[in-house]
């Protein structure tokens, strides 16, 4: 199986030993506590689940600035996006060297991790701007990821952590949430050797389904891991439970047995375009995928990134040999009226836009909210029904 990023074996930071787990929880009750924001809590979950291997905790200001500038930590580890614990208020942990990190997303704010504090640093405004511009390629406060990052605070609390929980992800998505360790184990159990991963924060329509199958055929994969984001999204995006139901129905009905795994991970969307695409590749390698699909406007939002910037970064900025996982570069896929099947647009140079069934996201949402199913050339009817039911409930809830 493919090696994890940066180490020979996967080293998740979750404390699996029950005795040690219990001891740490007891200790945490007597420690100064820091209530995390959602972004820092998601980072803790990703560290605990092994997706952020080989990191041992939150980055210092120096590492964050180094990663932003050159995609390497100060000690040379390749990493595309700073992994930070930013806060606006240090009063509860001032001067402490060991603290409890509490979950903002669960009632009662249970302990999520225990942290050894190495540094507490205040990031100056120019440093925050530098990180934002390098990671998001814009300082525009209207950018969803920029707005979130700038709301987190300027105090950087860094150091190694021991993770004691997976926040709401395990309880709310017991059939879907999986750690990198669990996915590696299932890949081995299924006997898969070549595995392609597909990232999604949206329901999958027919073009996405066919893209997964095209990718499998192109790289000779034994199976595809459909890996959905289960964390915070921007306003207007479809909730994770609805996406989960729609994707499971699609796989159940339209994928051959033992060719697709439906899984999810606990992280908040960054909308960082090219840099986030590289981060996605890192943690797909950590979960055991040998190939990763990067499509049009991967991890993008609005018009902040070029359609294929997230593919170019692997050729132009990711050093050769920095990652073992291979990238399958996909074009926009759509139903061809000429060929009567889904194709990648680059594979149909004789087509005009009128030769494809193309619907904007706005148009699709409008149809679904009116109870009108998109054409079969765009969406499987069973998937469309789940989405129509969701939009109908939304409309009824507003009446």
Any idea which residues carry the catalytic annotation?
Answer: 201-202
Distance CA 170, CA 346 (A): 40
Q: Which 8-state DSSP code applies to residue 72?
A: B
Contact 46, 266 (CB under 8 A): yes
Distance CA 99, CA 114 (A): 6
3-class SS at 219? helix
Contact 206, 380 (CB under 8 A): yes
3-class SS at 78? strand
141, exposed or middle or buried, with CB in 10 Å at 0-12, 13-18, 19+? exposed
**What does the angle CA 330 – CA 331 – CA 334 come to, to the nearest 5 degrees?**
120
Residue 23 neighbours by CB under 8 Å, 6+ apart: none
Walk across the sheet containing 326-329 and list its strands. Answer: 260-265, 223-229, 195-200, 291-294, 326-329
Distance CA 178, CA 22 (A): 22
Q: Which is nearest to 4 in space by CA: 351, 212, 371, 290? A: 290
């Amino acid at each position: 199986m493919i090696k994890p990023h940066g180490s020979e074996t996967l080293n998740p930071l979750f404390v699996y030993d029950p005795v040690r787990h219990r001891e740490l929880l007891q200790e945490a009750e007597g420690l100064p506590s820091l209530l995390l924001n959602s972004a820092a809590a998601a980072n803790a979950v990703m560290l605990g689940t092994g997706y952020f291997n080989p990191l041992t905790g939150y980055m210092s200001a120096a590492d964050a600035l180094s990663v932003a500038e050159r995609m390497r930590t100060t000690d040379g580890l390749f990493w595309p996006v700073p992994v930070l614990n930013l806060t606006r208020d240090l009063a509860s942990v001032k001067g402490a060297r060991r603290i409890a990190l509490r979950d903002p997303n669960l009632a009662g704010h249970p302990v999520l991790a225990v942290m050894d504090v190495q540094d507490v640093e205040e990031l100056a405004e120019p440093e925050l701007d530098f990180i934002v511009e390098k990671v998001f390629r814009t300082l525009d406060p209207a950018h969803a990821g920029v707005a979130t990052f700038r709301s987190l605070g300027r105090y950087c609390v860094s150091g190694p952590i021991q993770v004691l929980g997976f926040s709401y992800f395990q309880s709310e998505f017991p059939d879907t949430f999986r750690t990198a360790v669990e996915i590696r184990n299932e890949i081995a159990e299924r006997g898969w050797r070549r595995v392609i991963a597909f990232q999604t924060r949206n329901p999958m329509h027919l073009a996405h389904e066919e893209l997964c199958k095209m990718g499998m055929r192109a790289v000779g994969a034994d199976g595809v891991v459909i890996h959905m984001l289960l964390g915070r999204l921007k306003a207007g995006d479809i909730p994770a439970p609805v996406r989960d139901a729609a994707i499971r129905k699609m796989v159940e009905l339209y994928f051959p047995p033992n060719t697709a795994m439906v899984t999810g991970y606990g992280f908040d969307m960054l909308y960082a375009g090219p840099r986030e695409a590289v981060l996605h590749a890192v943690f797909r390698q950590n979960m055991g995928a040998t190939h990763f699909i990067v499509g049009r406007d991967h991890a993008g939002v609005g018009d902040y990134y070029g359609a294929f910037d997230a593919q170019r970064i692997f050729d132009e900025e990711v050093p050769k040999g920095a990652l073992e996982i291979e990238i399958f570069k996909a074009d926009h896929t759509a139903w061809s009226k000429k060929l009567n099947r889904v194709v990648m647009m680059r594979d149909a140079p004789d087509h005009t836009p009128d030769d494809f069934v193309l619907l904007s996201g706005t148009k699709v949402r409008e149809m679904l909210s009116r109870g009108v199913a998109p054409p079969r050339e765009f969406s499987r009817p069973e998937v469309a029904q789940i989405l129509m039911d969701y939009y109908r409930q939304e409309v009824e809830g507003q009446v």
